[in-house]
Amino acid sequence: MSPIRSICCLGAGYVGGPTCCIMAQQCPDITVTVVDKSVERIAAWNSSNLPIYEPGLQEVVEECRGKNLHFSTDIEQAIKQADLVFICVNTPTKTFGLGKGKAADLKYVELAARMIADTVEEGQGRKIVVEKSTVPVKAAESISNILRHNIKPGVTFQVLSNPEFLAEGTAIEDLLKPDRVLIGGEETEEGKEAISALGEVYRHWVPQERIITMNTWSSELSKLAANAFLAQRISSINSMSAVCEATGADVSEVAEAIGRDTRIGPKFLQASVGFGGSCFQKDILNLVYISECLNLPEVAEYWSQVVSFNNFQRFRFSQRIVECLFNTITDKKICLFGFAFKKNTGRVAKGDTRESAAIYIAKHLLDEGARLSIYDPKVTQQQMMMELTQPNISPESPDRIHNLVTCHSDPYSAAEGAHAVVVCTEWDEFVALDYARIYNTMTKPAFLFDGRKILDHENLIKIGFHVETIGKRLHRKNIERSWN
């Protein structure tokens, strides 16, 4: 079987863009073309202002673009020229119909498969199609069915599963030094040849022992299982944070103690206001739906509790803000530091706010009548307002949100006159702010709620702040004593 010389990626988003940039950098003998229907997105990839923010990505693009890395809207030409086609399209949770709120919507995957079948011309030989989007088990089988029933003379297709395991903010590092690369395919001679061909691409920079091959279904399920397990760890330590706050224990000390156990390990044991992003909740709900369809209600209920507790953690933190501010925040100004779901993520046009905890904290505070001022170093005002005016967040008219929410370009103006500052995202710059300056401009008593456990709490208390954080009691509750 001849080696891969040309790769096409359908979708220039968070998965396809960075993945193919690294492939181009590490495989100078392979031509990589990333295509997308969005003229605006492709124009951004071809500019100095990339549509995605990831540390190190800009340098990789500048090194390879125009050499063996290309960004284009000519989808048909890219498919025709490619030996291998990655499907990296969006797979959102369905918002209507069967599986609403849980199942993955595969319409874009199906459209991509049909486009490939329609575009490949007679006599083009073997084409390897690789699903990289997060999909439910047996999605590759659906892609194969579409391709098989629309095949042309002189063309053969092999469909592989090659899930991504990228964490936003560290995507380039994750791609360069992956823990593992999964490649799933058919257990036929042709399937094994296709797996080997894709494996050869990765072997340009990934050690052989980290490239794991398996059947397609195992590969697809492994992606959902990995995200479910990671989210489960976050909800587990967050459940401990509630116990710590009630008892006087410190969740960071508890996390260190259990993380020293080599069977458990220290990663994903940082208590916070909850997980966000495009993957964890979506993939768990997908797993819940699959379990329900397989008549495994106990399995579905088990995993749904991970999402339920994440929602509870956000609400619990919001309620704590209200309680500390004398049980009323009506018409009080509260400043949010951070709106992205985690640091080092985002796009030039809009930061990555998908399922951000800040959205739900803002919703709870707005429901209590607060006025919000928000600062985030990457998220634009347009993106913040778009999230806060979604029907599930703000059922009332958008005008109400525009009246109650102001967005700021610097943290000091955002905090001026505020009753409380709430840290929702762990941006590094928040650690280095002049909190004495912030304190002097705030309404007193000045409260600071550290939802990410990144600040020096003792120093903040010395400045004069009333400080609250996750999983630790910084101020002892009044204890009633009886005097004889």
What pLDDT is attached to residue 138? 77
Distance (Å, whole) CA 197 – CA 203: 10
Map tokens 């997308």 to a residue.
36
| pLDDT on residue 347 | 52
Of the candidates 38, 211, 18, 219, which has an alpha carbon nearest to the alpha carbon of residue 130?
219
Six token digits for residue 248: 């006087």
Integer Cα distance of 86 and 224 in angstroms: 19
pLDDT at residue 278 in the model: 79
- Nearest-angstrom CA–CA distance, 429 and 34: 33
Residue 335: closest CA among 224, 479, 446:
446
Q: How far is CA 428 from CA 190, 452, 472, in A?
A: 49, 11, 21
Model pLDDT, residue 348: 45
Distance from C-alpha of 403 to C-alpha of 167, rounded to nearest angstrom: 35
Q: In Å, how far from its chain's centre is CA 283? A: 11
Torsion (CA) 294, 295, 300, 302 in degrees, nearest 10:
-120
Q: Which of 279, 335, 407, 424 is catalytic?
A: 279
Structure tokens at 340: 């992205």
Is residue 16 within 8 Å of 35, Cβ to Cβ?
no
pLDDT of residue 474: 84
Q: Residue 159, Cβ neighbours under 10 Å: how many?
A: 27
Closest CA to 45 of 61, 28, 63: 61
As a whole number of angstroms, the distance between CA 402 and CA 171 comes to 34
- Distance CA(348)–CA(326), nearest Å, equals 39
**Residue 279 annotated among the catalytic residues of the structure:** yes
Per-residue pLDDT of the chain (484 residues; tens, 9 = 90+): 689 999 999 999 989 999 999 999 999 999 999 999 999 999 999 999 999 888 899 999 999 999 999 999 999 999 999 999 999 998 888 888 988 888 888 899 999 999 999 999 999 999 999 999 877 777 888 999 999 999 999 999 999 999 999 988 899 999 999 999 999 999 999 999 999 999 999 999 999 999 999 999 999 999 999 999 999 999 999 999 999 999 999 999 999 999 999 999 999 999 999 999 878 999 999 999 999 999 999 999 999 999 999 999 999 999 999 999 999 999 999 999 999 998 876 554 446 888 999 999 999 999 999 999 999 998 999 999 999 998 888 877 778 898 999 999 999 999 999 999 999 999 999 999 999 999 999 999 999 999 999 999 999 999 999 999 999 988 644 434 344 4
Kindly tell me the sign of the dihedral angle through the C-alpha atoms of 184, 22, 228, 101.
Answer: negative
Backbone angles phi, psi at 100, to 5 degrees: -50, 130
Radius of gyration of the chain (CA): 25
Are the CB atoms for 423 and 452 separated by under 8 Å? yes
Q: How far is CA 149 from CA 143, 153, 220, in A?
A: 10, 12, 23
How many CB atoms within 10 Å of residue 79? 24
